[in-house]
Chain A
Amino acid sequence: MTRFSAARRGVAWRLLGTATAALLVASACSSSSGTPNNSITLNVILMKQAAYSDTDIKAMDDAFTKANPNITINAELVAYDSLHDKIVTAQVGGGGKYDVVLMDTPWPAELVKANIVTDITSKIPANFTSGVFDSAWTAAKYNGKIYGVPWINDTKFFFYNKDMFSKANIAAAPKTWDEVEADAKAIKATGVKYPITASWKQAEAVICDWTQLAAAFGGSDFVDASGKALFNQGGGLAALTFMKKLIDEGLVDPASLSQTEDDVNSVMSAGQSAMALNWTYGLAVMNDATKSTVAGKIAVAPSPGEGSVTTTGVNGGMSLAVTTTTKHPDEALQYALFLASESSQEMDVANALPMWKASFDNPTVTKGNPDLFEAAKIEFAGLVARPVVPYYTKLSNALQDAIQQALLGKKTPQQALDDVAAQLPTFQQ
Chain B
Amino acid sequence: MTVDTLRRDPPKRSKPWPETWVAAAFVAPAALVILLVVVVPLARAAWMSLFDIELTKPGVEPFVGLGNYITQLTSASFWDSVSKAFFFTVVTTALELSLGIGLAMLMDQPMRLRWVLRSLVILPWALPTIVNALMWRWIDNATYGSLNALLTQVGFVHDYVPWLSQETTAMWMVIIADVWKMTPFCAILILAGLQGIDRELFEAARVDGASTIQMFRHIILPLLTPIILIVLVLRTMEAFKVFDVIWIMTGGGPASSTQTVAIYAYRTAYQGYDFGQGAALGYIIAIAIMLLAAVYLWLLRRTGSTKS
Residues in A lying within 8 Å of B, measured CB to CB:
1-2, 85, 88-89, 92, 110, 113-115, 201-202, 254-255, 257-259, 263, 266-267, 390-391, 393-394, 397, 401, 404-405, 408
Contact = CB atoms under 8 A, between A and B. Distances in A.
A4 to B, nearest CB: 10
B165 A1 contact: no
Contacts of A263: 143
A115 B58 contact: yes
Given A92-B55, A114-B56, A115-B58, A202 B142 contact: no
A243 to B, nearest CB: 16
Interface in B218-256: 253-256
Contacts of B166: 408
| The 8 A-B residue pairs with the shortest CB-CB distance in the complex, in nearest-first order | A258-B142, A258-B162, A114-B55, A115-B58, A258-B165, A401-B255, A113-B56, A1-B2
Interface stretch (B149-157, B176-184, B206-214, B268-276): B268-276
Nearest to B55: A114
B162 A110 contact: no
A386 to B, nearest CB: 16
B160 interface: yes
Nearest to A91: B55
Q: Per DSSP, are chain A's interface residues mostly helix, strand or loop, or mixed?
A: helix
Contacts of A394: 271-272
Given A1-B2, A113-B56, A89 B165 contact: no
Contacts of A110: 56, 273
Of A255, A258, A394, which is in contact with the most chain B CB atoms at under 10 Å from its CB?
A: A258
Given A92-B275, A115-B58, A401 B254 contact: yes
A255 B2 contact: no
A114 B58 CA distance: 6
Contacts of A114: 55-56, 58, 273
Contacts of A408: 166
Nearest to A324: B58
A263 B144 CA distance: 9
B30 interface: no
Contacts of A257: 142, 162, 165
A202 B55 contact: no
B5 interface: yes
Contact of A405 (B141, B253, B255, B272): B255
Interface of B: 1-2, 5, 55-56, 58-59, 141-144, 159-160, 162, 164-166, 253-256, 270-273, 275
B274 to A, nearest CB: 11
Contacts of B273: 88, 110, 114
Contact of A390 (B56, B142, B143): B56
B2 A393 contact: no
A88 B270 contact: yes
Nearest to B254: A202
Given A114-B273, A405-B255, A255 B160 contact: yes
B143 A258 contact: yes
Contacts of B143: 255, 258-259, 263, 266-267
B164 A258 contact: yes
Contacts of B5: 1-2
A85 B251 CA distance: 14
Given A88-B55, A259-B143, A201 B165 contact: yes
Given A263-B143, A401-B254, A1 B55 contact: no
Contacts of A397: 271
16 contacts: A92-B55, A114-B273, A202-B165, A254-B159, A255-B142, A255-B143, A258-B142, A258-B162, A259-B142, A263-B143, A266-B143, A267-B143, A394-B272, A404-B255, A405-B255, A408-B166
Contacts of A113: 56
A122 to B, nearest CB: 22
A1 B142 CA distance: 59
A350 B160 CA distance: 33
A85 B269 CA distance: 10
B56 A404 contact: no
A202 B258 CA distance: 14
Nearest to B267: A397
B255 A89 contact: no
A357 to B, nearest CB: 36
A267 B273 CA distance: 37
A5 to B, nearest CB: 8
Contacts of A404: 165, 254-255
A202 B56 contact: no
B163 to A, nearest CB: 9
A255 B152 CA distance: 15
B166 to A, nearest CB: 8
Of B162, B164, B272, which is in contact with the most chain A CB atoms at under 10 Å from its CB?
A: B162
A72 B197 CA distance: 69
Nearest to B58: A115
Nearest to B270: A85
A390 B271 CA distance: 12
Contacts of A2: 2, 5
Given A114-B55, A254-B159, 4 more contacts: A88-B55, A110-B273, A266-B143, A391-B56
B199 to A, nearest CB: 35
A118 to B, nearest CB: 13
A393 B272 CA distance: 8
A59 to B, nearest CB: 32
A1 B275 contact: no
A20 B273 CA distance: 38
A303 B253 CA distance: 30
A92 B166 CA distance: 35
A1 B255 contact: no
Contacts of A259: 142-143
Nearest to B256: A401
Contact of B1 (A1, A88, A267, A391): A1
A355 to B, nearest CB: 29
A202 B272 contact: no
Contacts of A258: 141-143, 162, 164-165
B20 to A, nearest CB: 28
